[in-house]
Amino acid sequence: MKKAIKWIILVVIILVVGYLLYINLFKTKELMEPIDTQPAITFEVTKETISNSVQVKGKSKYEQETLVYAPFASKVTKWNVENGGQVKQGDVLYTLDQSILKNEIATQDALIRKTQLEAELNEFVSQQEDETTALGATEAERLKALATQESGRLNDELNKVNADIQRRELADKKAKLQTAVYHAPATGIFLYDSTSERPQSVTDNQYIGKIVNLNKLEFIALVGEQDIFRIKQGMKVQVKITALKELKLSGEVTKVSKFAVTAADKTSTNQVPQFEVVISLQPNEHLIGGLSMSGEIETVRKENATVISSIAVIHEGDISYVMLDKGAGQYERRDIETGLETADKTEVLSGLNVGDTVVLQ
């Protein structure tokens, strides 16, 4: 029995030793086998067009909006236009009651005429008194007549000033009367002021609505202070409508504001200065006012530039370099001078030639 146990233990020992030898031999074989290395990523130096741009967001707005105001306070006797209706320049929009203004004109006209007659009468009386005094008057009477004459002259000058003021006021009222039948100053769509649609009476210079030219729209974008100095009038813009992503429009920068529009930063309590950029848009049937838009303003463009992929360029302080592929697995560090840089391309001013290959290790 004891012999059998010894033999069993011996067999187990032999099996364990054999297994350990096998494992060690397998690992040694793995270490001796060559490891497949990942091939280096290469980039070719090319000559192409490179550009830089600024991304902007904003809304579309009608370029031409003619505001309509009431010329004077009155009741509205007739409206000739509906909200959103098409009008042509010269069409009658509304008619104001003219009776009160006509009465004021008649009253002021009569007052001016009365003042003129009184002035003529005073002049006639003054002449008669002068003649009477001259016939046989004492020194005291002549002095009194002179004082009366001077007082009359001053009153005449004051009456003339008042008469001039009254005549100007009368002319102003007559001019207002000509606008009682109000004609459209422009062609487009008429939109009432939402707070006073078709008012039955108006106050002096009250805002009534506006005439919008639907054929001319512009893109109003806001940009930060870090980008405003890169944008110039005349730069080309690629525009997209948020609701119609497949539609691409072209535009041009027509105005760059020199004054900041302060907008609250939602992520902090600070005020972030932003500047308004106006972009003209080409006519398109899908364009209406108030659409959310995004644009790409091309600020710099270079034709036939020598470029390389930006991820292949290594920066060490002010020095930039790449690893040039010399062939046969040989690489060489090559310092380069860079120019215009974008997110994916870098212009190479010196250090590389078109056709060179660089590697990213």
131 in a domain, yes or no? yes
- Do 85 and 166 belong together in one domain? yes
For residue 11, name the pLDDT band (cuts at 50, 70, 90).
low
Q: Which of 246, 271, 299 is the last residue of a domain?
A: 299
Contact 252, 189 (CB under 8 A): no
pLDDT digits (tens, 9 = 90+) for 115-145: 777 666 666 666 555 555 554 556 665 666 6
Contact 182, 96 (CB under 8 A): yes
Domain that includes residue 48, residue range: 43-53+302-360
18 in a domain, yes or no? no
160 in a domain, yes or no? yes
pLDDT digits (tens, 9 = 90+) for 148-157: 666 666 666 7
pLDDT at 353 over 70: yes
Q: Which of 299, 320, 346 is the last residue of a domain?
A: 299
Question: In degrees, to the nearest 5, what angle opens at C-alpha 353 toward C-alphas 343 and 329?
Answer: 90
Average pLDDT score over the chain: 80
- The pTM of this model reads 0.55
- Do 224 and 312 belong together in one domain? no
pLDDT digits (tens, 9 = 90+) for 216-265: 889 999 998 888 999 999 999 999 999 998 889 999 999 999 888 865 44
- Do 190 and 272 belong together in one domain? no
pLDDT score for 36: 47
**What is the CATH classification number for the domain harbouring 219?**
2.40.30.170
**What is d(CA 73, CA 201) in angstroms, rounded to the nearest whole number?**
8
Q: Which of 261, 277, 299 is the last residue of a domain?
A: 299
Q: Is 185 helix (H, G, I), strand (E, B) or coil?
A: coil
**What is d(CA 157, CA 142) in angstroms, rounded to the nearest whole number?**
23
pLDDT score for 138: 66
Q: Choose between 305 and 19: higher pLDDT.
A: 305
- Do 315 and 255 belong together in one domain? no
pLDDT at 180 over 50: yes
- Do 189 and 82 belong together in one domain? yes
